[in-house]
Amino acid sequence: MELVEERACRYRIERHGPMRVPGIVFATRDLLADAEKSLEQVVNVATLPGIVAASYAMPDIHWGYGFPIGGVAATDIDDGGVVSPGGVGFDISCGVRLLVADCDRRELQPALRAVMDGLDRAIPRGAGPGGVWRLSGPGQLERILEGGSRYAVEQGYGEDRDLMRCEDGGAVADADVMQVGARARERGLGQVGSLGSANHFLEVQQVAEVHDETVAAAFGLAADQVCVMIHCGSRGLGHQICSDHVKAMGQAMARYGITVPDRQLACTPVDSPEGRDYLGAMAAAANYGRVNRQLLTHAARRVFDRAAGVRLSLVYDVSHNLAKIETHTTDGTRRRLCVHRKGATRAFPPGHPELPEDLRDVGQPVLIPGTMGTASYVLTGVPGGDAFYSTCHGAGRTMSRHQAARTVTGRELGARLERAGVAVRPRSWRGLSEETPEAYKDVSAVVAASERAGLCRTVARLVPLGVVKG
């Protein structure tokens, strides 16, 4: 596939065939070395009805369901623009939450082992059921789906500041519980407040470098400070919602005269009954994901308080698998768009009206988890950010889990991490081996490419002290 280099870390795939817009890829040649299949998905996304500007891909691009992971696409709602569940993914509202401790590494060190052992016991994880909150029944689940973190905080699982520092104030509006099917509810009932498995984690970290002291201070970060990063999503409930609505849209497309080059791109107009139903169910799953991270925050706070007398405060919580209705200027016209971000993080610039007042002058915190034993990053949005103010979401996978597990055993990897000073608490050794750092791109290279492309700016680099894995 021909990639035309427009400038540093920005490549263009010219329109051809049924493409309605070009493809724009933010990356280096090295980061795209094994991206042929995912670049084909960039081209396929460019055929969606109503798509505007371009089909975008972030530096951590890799192959996904329909859309590439690291894909961004916006459709014009008033011009027949579609919504596609494949542009959000199965783990709806998978995202990252960063907490900051009122201590530095030196102060925590004597209690670190006790903290990690406490987190190992307190954080439910793995593929099956089990969560921090045992719900009373379907009625309480519905209140979670409608109210998100706001409901959790009302029930004593957090503080008001948590809502101020969470995307959408802790809850996505317009959730429609009636569009969440029985099987999705069944799966969600027993998993709220749990990490899940695969690449999800809770990590104790240290601020290793501060690149922008003014912004870091506004975020509450300082050199050597201890942090906690939580990466998880909407578990089986979100997965089932995606499956249900992909099927419904696949059956409905012919009625709207829509054809797509890949059935995984099933879609319908945003303003169609099927489009509205999906967005309502997606919002409900997003609220479940917010509650999930809120409850894990509550569990982590209790462990840190008991084991070390340390308090944790929320820096920010942001999703990287979501479709949102936003207004942007394209071709000189303000348009109401459905912005799909799949494996891509919203990165609003300073002054954006949707940011909390105490962050409006510096921009939105953008949280980029790395791989075990490497680094994670805190970025911020920048004026004129491309791709509808979006940037990368992590390192980007290069190996399948099966391939990764063949390269190293979990015990070998655990020992390696421990020698490097990272305390490891896995649910299973197999799960640990599947997430070996060699299975991912270099997160530092991904962040550097994102910054060179003008999508964001680096605020701080974080390194792991201990990790709890599913």
> Residue range 344-349: average pLDDT?
98
> Residue range 75-97: average pLDDT?
98
Confidence band, pLDDT 50/70/90 cuts, at residue 1? confident
> Residue range 225-248: average pLDDT?
98
pLDDT digits (tens, 9 = 90+) for 394-426: 999 999 999 999 999 999 999 999 999 999 999
Q: Which of 62, 245, 298, 393 is catalytic?
A: 393
Looking at residue 140, what is its pLDDT? 97
Looking at residue 78, what is its pLDDT? 97
Confidence band, pLDDT 50/70/90 cuts, at residue 333? very high
Beta strand spans in 264-403 (E): 268-269, 312-319, 321-330, 333-342, 345-346, 365-368, 376-380, 390-391
CB 111, CB 307: distance < 8 Å: yes
Task: Establish whether 393 is a catalytic residue.
Answer: yes
CB 60, CB 393: distance < 8 Å: yes
pLDDT digits (tens, 9 = 90+) for 117-174: 999 999 999 887 789 999 999 999 999 999 999 999 999 999 999 999 999 999 999 9
Instruction: Map tokens 């996304």 to a residue.
Output: 45
Q: Give helix 235-252 / helix 182-189 axis angle, nearest 10°.
A: 170
> Residue range 199-218: average pLDDT?
97
What residues are paired with 335 via a beta bridge? 328
Confidence band, pLDDT 50/70/90 cuts, at residue 59? very high
* Average pLDDT value over all residues in the chain: 96
Question: Rounded to whole angstroms, what are the CA distances from 104 to 112, 151, 326, 341, 365?
Answer: 11, 32, 39, 34, 21
Confidence band, pLDDT 50/70/90 cuts, at residue 12? very high
What residues contact residue 339 under an 8 Å CB cut-off, 6+ apart?
A: 72, 73, 74, 323, 324, 325, 326, 328, 388, 390
Looking at residue 280, what is its pLDDT? 98
